[in-house]
Amino acid sequence: MDVLRTIMDEIEHVVANVKKDEIDQVIGLIQKDRRIFVAGEGRSGFSAKGFAMRLMHLGYTVYVVGETITPAIKEGDILIGVSGSGKSISVVDAARKAKEKNASVIAVTSKRESPLAGFADQILVIPGTVKGDTGEKRGSIQLLSSLFDQSLHIVLDAVCLLLSYRDNTANESATGAHW
């Protein structure tokens, strides 16, 4: 078995099944005049932080939920909650709080029917296998949520690239915002 080829095929299959209209709707919500907050746990949280960093490079005001310098979310802000299962307690709690403050919520998850998705104004489904998937639902040779996390990184990078096109942000400009 060629493990690397199989992993690449799995990622390609997942990314091909992400709905373009969902990406377009997420891009429509993300605007430079709105503060953006990202939330995630574990490896999904690492990808969420990478997404936040790239948004900052593109000129957005962005914060990571749970960091000591993160302000309170308020009306008009956007929370992007990332959870493969859609059940990560801290992410679901952040989405609930965001809705209470009349902020917009974008759920990035593999589960359209999940607690996180229930709070969302917009859902971006990345149909990669997560740790709770078993048996025929597993759909991956990889451990735990690896397939979701890998696909998540690619999709969020694509969102950033599309935002850079929309906003006319050149690579040189993004590089200038890099530390």
pLDDT band at 170, cuts 50/70/90? confident
Report which of residues 28 and 142 the model is more confident about: 28
Q: Where are the domains of the chain?
A: 3-174
Q: What is the mean pLDDT of the chain?
A: 93
What mean pLDDT do residues 108-131 have?
Answer: 94
- For residue 94, the model assigns a pLDDT of 98
Alpha-carbon distance of 110 to 83, in angstroms, equals 8
pLDDT at 4 over 80: yes
Domain 3-174: homologous superfamily in CATH = Glucose-6-phosphate isomerase like protein; domain 1 (3.40.50.10490)
Alpha-carbon distance of 78 to 59, in angstroms, equals 15
- For residue 171, the model assigns a pLDDT of 84
Q: Which two tokens stand for residue 116?
A: 């996180």
pLDDT band at 139, cuts 50/70/90? confident
Q: pTM score, two decimals?
A: 0.94
Closest CA to 175 of 62, 58, 25, 30: 58
Pairing between β-strand 104-109 and β-strand 122-125 as defined by DSSP bridges: parallel
pLDDT (tens digit per residue) in 26-71: 999 999 999 999 999 999 999 999 999 999 999 999 999 999 999 9
